[in-house]
Amino acid sequence: MPFVEPVLIPHDGPPDVALWRVDIAFDASLNDAAFASLSNDERNRARAFYRHEDTLRFATVRAALREQIASRLGISARAVSFSADANRRPQLADSVALDFNVSHAGAYGLIAMSAVRRVGVDIEERNDKFDWRSITALTLAATETVWIAQQLDPGEQRAAFYDAWVAKEALVKTTGVGIARGLQHLTVLPRESAAVTLRDPVPDDMHELAACWIAAPDAYAACVAWSTATIAR
């Protein structure tokens, strides 16, 4: 399997935020040369997934992430080393020169990266077989649930739910703070444009964050978020 080159995606966020889409090849194998840069730990994590599809999602996005970081830092992809911060958010082990975040679902992955600010990204597949209403209490604020039920027709409700889900995931992944509190404590609906509007009350740890929804493949929703303050060096 040749390495699949990530596709650079345009968005309405700051120009220093780079965003790529990664296409997952499900006929690949972990033994393929495309995954040669993965560490032993990453290979073990990939093999631990029950489904082959999940193995390839993780391995493909991680390999693509290594290539993009290596290109920025001028090192080999194999030499990239990861660790986790106090919020268990992945980061570079030996450098604060880049911040990054990844997400994958279905046949696609996303990578966000910036040299000057924190970033978060999320992509979800709008699966018609998934009962999205079963997790609204964990995902939506009460006002969002009411708005979806009263203002949207059935054909629009699923899309609105996924818009809220990816926006909130991208925002909390930007810092790793707020995940334990739950997505239902953020309010982003109704959606008025590509820009995500965090509606009152805005949690204290979300005041310096922004986000925008991005163009996603058919049957997917996606969002990228970033800190409005730059990273201290």
Residue at token pair 């489904």 = 51
Whole-model pTM: value is 0.94
Angle formed at CA 184 by CA 179 and CA 185, multiple of 5 degrees: 75
Q: Is there a common fold for 7-121 and 123-227?
A: yes
Residue 69 near residue 98, CB atoms below 8 Å: yes
Residue 166, phi then psi, degrees to nearest 5: -70, -35
Residue 180 is predicted with a pLDDT of 61
Task: Name the E strands within the chain.
Answer: 7-8, 18-23, 82-84, 90-92, 99-105, 108-114, 119-125, 209-213, 220-227
Q: What is the pLDDT of residues 4-35, one digit of tens each?
A: 689 999 999 999 999 999 999 999 999 999 99
Q: How many CB atoms lie within 10 A of CB 193?
A: 9
Phi-psi region of 4 (alpha: psi -120 to 50; beta: other; left: phi over 0): beta
Cα–Cα dist 62/56, whole Å: 10
For residues 92-105, average pLDDT: 88
Residue 5 is predicted with a pLDDT of 83
Whether residue 109 has pLDDT greater than 70: yes
Q: What is the pLDDT of residues 133-152, one digit of tens each?
A: 999 999 999 999 999 999 99
SS3 of the chain: helix, strand, coil, percent, to 5? 35, 20, 45
Q: What is the pLDDT of residues 147-180, one digit of tens each?
A: 999 999 988 999 999 999 999 999 999 988 766 6
Alpha helices in 114-229 (DSSP H): 136-139, 142-151, 154-175
Cα–Cα dist 72/154, whole Å: 45
Provide the pairing of β-strand 209-213 with 99-105.
unpaired
Whether residue 197 has pLDDT greater than 60: yes
For residues 37-65, average pLDDT: 96
CATH number for the segment(s) 7-121: 3.90.470.20
Whether residue 232 has pLDDT greater than 80: no
Whether residue 1 has pLDDT greater than 60: no
* 211 HSE (CA, 13 A, CB side): 34
Fold annotation for 123-227: Ribosomal Protein L22; Chain A (3.90.470)
Give the domain ranges of the chain. 7-121, 123-227
56, two tokens: 């390839």
Residue 3 is predicted with a pLDDT of 59
